Amino acid sequence: MMEAFRATVLTLMPDMFPGALGLSLAGDALQRGLWSLAVKDIRDHGIGRHRAVDDTPAGGGPGMVIRADVLAAAIDAAVPTEDTRPRFLLSPRGRVFDQALARGLAGGPGAVLVCGRFEGVDERVIAGRGLQELSIGDYVLSGGEIAAQVVLDAVIRLLPGVMGGDGSDLEESHEQGLLEYPHYTRPRSWEGGDIPAILTSGNHAAIARWRQEQAEAITRIRRPDLWAKYRR
């Protein structure tokens, strides 16, 4: 039997977890043991009486930087050397997280997620502890905690037994390189708008073609970058 997906989160804000991950699909899966969550407080390894975790940037400049020695000590205490799980630092300059990576992580043993704060972390600990920088989009958050929850939610819903086996996850946006087609349900007529007749025709081949055409049209209009990749 495959071992449950293990998530370890290192953060200066441990009270933010499990947060949204304790609710809905992710929360139910957590209670059923389909995945596990270990939250480690970086400040436990802070320096001195005040458990300092940051210092001023070398070379000057605004803000503060998380110290390499503090963060490295936190990682070393939380993650054994032999642990093969990928280690990610949530960072706006990282690789953009996508559905392909989510599916890849869902097939593995888990992940270690380090949540940055302030201006960032000392560059030496990124290399020294093999952290892969990961971004959830081209914007800046006040810390990596929300980003870590986004990453974990996207992965957890793909774990076996979380969503069921109806295959609905395979038709979602980004799974096939396209945005998802439109959805409709009862009532058949609402505020002057009707469900497209093709969807109530019972012709499954025609419905599949319509959905494919709609997905292609929406992607072409809304996300020309995805459309260009899909057309390659």
Q: Read off the pTM.
A: 0.91
Residue 91 located in a structural domain: yes
What percent of the chain has pLDDT above 90?
93
Residue 150 located in a structural domain: yes
Strand partners, 52: 47
- Report how far residue 22's alpha carbon sits from residue 66's, in angstroms, rounded to the nearest whole number: 28
Note whether 96 and 187 are same-domain residues: no
Find tokens 């905690």 and name the residue: 145
Domain of residue 219 covers 172-231
User: Residue 174: what pLDDT?
Assistant: 79
- Report how far residue 113's alpha carbon sits from residue 140's, in angstroms, rounded to the nearest whole number: 17
What Cα–Cα distance (Å) separates residue 34 from each residue in 16, 25, 71, 80, 83?
Answer: 21, 11, 29, 22, 19
User: Residue 165: what pLDDT?
Assistant: 64
Buried b (16+ CB within 10 A) or exposed e, 183-199: eeeeeeeeeeeebeeeb
Residue 83 located in a structural domain: yes
Note whether 142 and 79 are same-domain residues: yes
User: Residue 10: what pLDDT?
Assistant: 98
Residue 166 located in a structural domain: no
Average pLDDT of span 128-157: 98
User: Residue 6: what pLDDT?
Assistant: 98
Average pLDDT of span 140-161: 97
Q: Which of 156, 189, 219 is the last residue of a domain?
A: 156
Q: Cβ atoms within 10 A of the Cβ of 104, count? A: 13
Domain count, the chain: 2
- Report the CATH number at residue 114: 3.40.1280.10
Find tokens 């495959």 and name the residue: 2
Q: Which of 156, 188, 214 is the last residue of a domain?
A: 156
Q: Place 171 in a pLDDT band, splitting at 50, 70 and 90.
A: low
Residue 37 located in a structural domain: yes
CB 143 within 8 A of CB 117: yes
Alpha-carbon Rg for the chain, nearest whole angstrom, is 22
* pLDDT, tens only, 29-52: 999 999 999 999 999 999 999 999
* pLDDT, tens only, 87-103: 999 999 999 999 999 99
Instruction: Supply the mean pLDDT for the chain.
Output: 95
Residue 167 located in a structural domain: no
